[in-house]
Amino acid sequence: MFTIDIDVQKKPGIIELGVQGDKLADAAAFDVTEWVAEYGAGTVYIYHQRASDAAPYFKQLPIVTADGKSTATWTFDDADTGVKGEGAAQLLYVKGDTIKKTAVYVTVTSRSLGEAGGDIPDPYQDLLQQVREIYQSVVDKAAAAAASSSEAAQHETNAKGYADAAEASAEDAAASAQEAANVFQIAGNASLSMDPATKKVQMHITES
């Protein structure tokens, strides 16, 4: 095991904590010499929020000054590496009730094959899940295609009904037109007269 040395004056980066339930390193040593020199003696805290945590937890870090260098050390424990994924850590330098300096880091905990003491996963489970998803996708697409086909058939039936109705209407219109033509033809060949005795009107049709 080893210690990760981190200079807080440099651009914050990534802290590799290790594999879930198994530390990669013993600790992270933060060089806070410049902070101490600028603000005087203070207290260092680390706030750590793991991948699935709703809120961070915090620890106070001891500061050791030796050979003109001040170091705050975060010693990793099982809780720090207990959840796989990317988390976040924020280092705070506090003097009195005031936060003087802060630095933010991404923490990474790799997935453990045994899920930190859990059952070893079946190597075929992922493949099986993929097969299930593909099968379900095929079923869904087939159902959607069947629904579209049924809807199209219904539209076709409706269209045929509309066409039949239109044809019947056209036939009715043609019959009415023919009847009107017959009436007009008869009218054109007809003459009216009145019997002086009976006062009745009579129609005389001359065949053409």
Backbone φ, ψ for residue 47 (5° rounding): -105, 125
Instruction: Tell me, yes or no, whether 64 and 153 share the same domain.
Output: no
Q: State whether the Cα torsion 42-109-76-16 is positive or negative.
A: negative
Residue 86 included in any domain: yes
Do residues 69 and 163 share a domain?
no
Whether pLDDT at 138 is above 70? no
User: Mapping DSSP to helix (H, G, I), strand (E, B) and coil, where does residue 62 land?
Assistant: coil
Range of the domain at 145: 125-177
Q: Report how far residue 179's alpha carbon sits from residue 196's, in angstroms, rounded to the nearest whole number.
A: 33
pLDDT in the model for residue 176: 59
CATH of the domain at 73: 2.60.40.3350
The single residue listed with the structure tokens 């003459």 is: 191
Please count the other Cβ atoms lying within 10 Å of the Cβ belonging to residue 205: 11
Looking at the structure, do residues 48 and 75 belong to the same domain, yes or no? yes
33 within domain boundaries: yes
Domain tally for the chain?
2
Same domain? For 62 and 152 the reply is: no
Q: What is the pLDDT of residues 19-73, one digit of tens each?
A: 776 666 788 899 999 999 999 999 999 999 988 888 889 899 999 998 889 999 9
Q: Are residues 131 and 170 in the same domain?
A: yes
15/105 Cα distance (integer angstroms): 7
Confirm whether 12 is domain-assigned: yes
Question: What integer is the mean pLDDT of 67-80?
Answer: 89
Residue 1 has pLDDT above 70, yes or no: no
- Same domain for 61 and 151, yes or no, is no
Query: What SS3 state is found at 47?
Result: strand
Give dist(CA 8, CA 160) in Å, integer: 79
Residue 116 forms part of a structural domain: no
Boundary residue ending a domain (110, 138, 156): 110
Amino acid at residue number 198: T
Residue 64 lies in a domain: yes
Question: Looking at the structure, do residues 97 and 14 belong to the same domain, yes or no?
Answer: yes
Same domain, 8 and 104: yes
